[in-house]
Structure formats: C-alpha cells, structure tokens
Amino acid sequence: MESLEVIARPHFDKADLAWLTDIRSRRAGSRGAPYFTLVFATLGLTRAGFIKAVRANAKAIHPIRFRLRSALVVPERTVGRFHVFLIPDEGFGAILRLHDALHAGPIGAALRQDSPYLPHITVATMADHASARDLAFALNNDVIDIHGHIEALQLECRSGDVIEQVAEIPLSKAGWFG
C-alpha cells in the first residue's frame, strides 16, 4: 500500500551535515541526509490531491532557521525501542506552526492523536533506555550547537521499502512587507 508524507531536509554546514549523517547511519540505521518529518503516512489522497493540499497549506510559510542544541530520549512503545532525538531550541515554534499548518483540510486526517508532535531529527535508535540515556547525556555534555534552515518541503511516496520523491515545494520568500 502506498502512503504519502511530507519531510523537510534542512541545509546545514558541511561539517555538521557530515556528523549528523554519520551518527544517524551508525546509531539509527538511517541512510541519507537528516530530516524533519512533518506529515506522517497519509492514505486516501491521490498524489495530485496531496501535492495541491500541501502547496495550499504551506503557501504563507517562510523559510525557517533553527538550532539543534538538545538531545532527548523518546520511547517508541510499539516496537519496544528508544530513540535519541536532537531537538531545536531555536526554531521549535516555527517548525511546530509549519506542522500544524500542513494538517489543515484533507491532510488533517493524518494528524497523530496518540502523541504530540515534537520537532526532531533522530540520531539513534536503541533497544534499552540506559544506552539511549547515556548517548543523550554524552551529546548534551558535548554542548551540541548545530545551525540549520528549512527552505523547502519534500513530498514522498512510500510503498514498502521504496521511497520516491513526488514533489518539492519551496517555502515562500518574504516580500516587501513580510
């Protein structure tokens, strides 16, 4: 079955991007550039309808600057694992407002009701809480300070293990009065 999602692949300094990509590969089994998931697994919309709805919902959103400065352990009860998230200290509210804006209209059905949305980039997934907590503690003691910015949204279609980007929607640029 095919599902549609919205992610944002931020721009980072070259060294920060290399570090994030490496730790995610080693600790979370994630390949590729880090990203924020903004809309999780939407079913029931056509690709064209999904793209149209995301475009409409994001039309007034400007690019977002953020700073990742905190690591947090978050349990995922459905699989019995623990994630280590990097959380933006600056830009948290802007990413949260983008998430909320995207869930208007027909995409609202994709809003997760089982847990609040927490803007994050996953850097590790572990089987036990103690290991995840040790990593988060070490990252927080290293004084993480990673700057990034989001300029566009990527719309992806997932079918099993296959992920296909179906559209990219740039965030609006500020004009004379914005």
Domains of the chain plus CATH, in order, are 2-170 (3.90.1140.10)
Place of tokens 């979370």: 28
Closest CA to 70 of 135, 3, 21: 135
pLDDT tens for each residue of 43-52: 788 999 999 9
Give the pLDDT confidence of 102-153 residue by residue, as tens digits. Answer: 999 999 988 988 889 999 999 999 999 999 999 999 999 998 999 999 999 9
**What b/e sequence results for 22-44 when a residue is b if at least 16 CB atoms lie within 10 Å of its CB, and e otherwise?**
ebbeebbebeeebbbbbbeebee
Count CB-CB contacts under 10 A for residue 6.
27
Alpha helices per DSSP H over 43-172: 47-58, 92-102, 129-141
Spatial CB neighbours of 86, under 8 Å, sequence gap ≥ 6: 20, 68, 70, 71, 120, 121, 123, 139, 144, 146
Phi, psi of 99 (to 5 degrees): -55, -50
Per-residue confidence (pLDDT) for residue 175, from 0 to 100: 55
pLDDT of residue 82: 97
Integer angstrom CA distances of residue 174 from 2, 10, 56, 64, 169:
35, 18, 17, 11, 15
Closest CA to 20 of 114, 160, 123: 123
Of the candidate ranges 4-8, 39-43, 103-107, the one whose mean pLDDT is the lowest? 39-43
